[in-house]
């Protein structure tokens, strides 16, 4: 039996037959539309609450994040930093509300951007964003991530690069009893560091060697793992 769209404005889009019965698909589509509208309202409300929450957490130890200068926690799945580790990062200690060794961190970050041909961020703008996520916290940790941004499939870099900039703060780790003394407990990691002069000296987003090395121990009294190259030479710690 043929079905017909209702002509009246109040029933627009409703499929009926000659007997006036409504096609079951109408109710399904109507439910989907209502669900979609509800999800859109919920998303907008979530974004608004996120911004308000970010503004109201100054002075707390909650993690806070800015993406390209705006409060956010999501980044596009096609971002090359996620897809290929195509980017750089810096981790800064914050003492008395100020990022430590700012100039040195910026020199390394800008040098890495130049070597990877990623447009460098404005360090003045970056400092403002770092200050924003620090808020009134006296001690914390700030991480800065610069990615090459989104691009098409494949390793070839896009012609038009639009980097993404992520600035986030974390609570400062509680100092253990060991770290209050002149020495800490450390161990030698069995995971070696590869030798690649092209990447040496940069804090790239490729950190699987450090991830594997750090997974070698769970003893909370051991605060750092020392990493050697394949020749057995001491190179660095997993975090230091």
Residues with catalytic function = 91, 203, 236
For the chain, helix, strand, coil in percent to 5 are 30, 25, 45
- Tokens representing residue 198 in the block: 């092209």
- Give the 3-state secondary structure of 168-197: EEEECCCCCCHHHCCCCEEEECCCCCCCCC
Q: Which of 178, 166, 15 is nearest to 82 (CA)?
A: 166
CA angle 133, 58, 50 (to 5 degrees): 75
DSSP secondary structure letter of residue 62: -
Per-residue three-class SS string for 98-161: EECCHHHHHHHHHHHHHHHCCCCCCHHHHHHHHHHHHCCCCCEEEEEEEECCECCCCCCCCCCC
Q: Output the six-digit token pair for 88.
A: 């750089």
């Amino acid at each position: 039996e043929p079905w017909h769209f209702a002509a009246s404005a109040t029933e627009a889009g409703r499929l009926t037959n000659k007997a006036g019965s409504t096609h079951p698909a109408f109710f399904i589509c109507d439910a989907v539309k209502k669900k979609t509208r509800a999800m859109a309202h919920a998303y907008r409300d979530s974004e608004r609450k996120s911004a308000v929450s970010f503004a109201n957490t100054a002075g707390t130890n909650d993690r806070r994040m800015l993406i390209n200068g705006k409060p956010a926690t999501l980044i596009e799945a096609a971002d090359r930093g996620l897809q290929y580790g195509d980017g750089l990062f810096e981790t800064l200690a914050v003492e008395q509300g100020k990022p430590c060794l700012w100039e040195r961190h910026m020199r390394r970050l800008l040098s890495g951007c130049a070597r990877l041909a990623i447009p460098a961020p404005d360090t003045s703008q970056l400092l403002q964003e770092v200050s924003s996520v620090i808020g009134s916290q006296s001690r914390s940790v700030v991480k800065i991530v610069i990615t090459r941004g989104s691009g098409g499939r494949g390793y070839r870099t896009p012609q038009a690069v639009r980097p993404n900039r992520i600035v986030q703060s974390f609570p400062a780790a509680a100092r253990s009893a060991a770290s209050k003394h002149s020495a800490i407990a450390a161990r030698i990691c069995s995971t070696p560091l590869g030798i690649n002069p092209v990447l040496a000296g940069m804090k790239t987003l490729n950190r699987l060697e450090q991830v594997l090395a750090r997974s070698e121990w769970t003893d909370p009294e051991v605060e750092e793992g020392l990493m050697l190259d394949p020749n057995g030479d001491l190179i660095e710690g997993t975090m230091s």
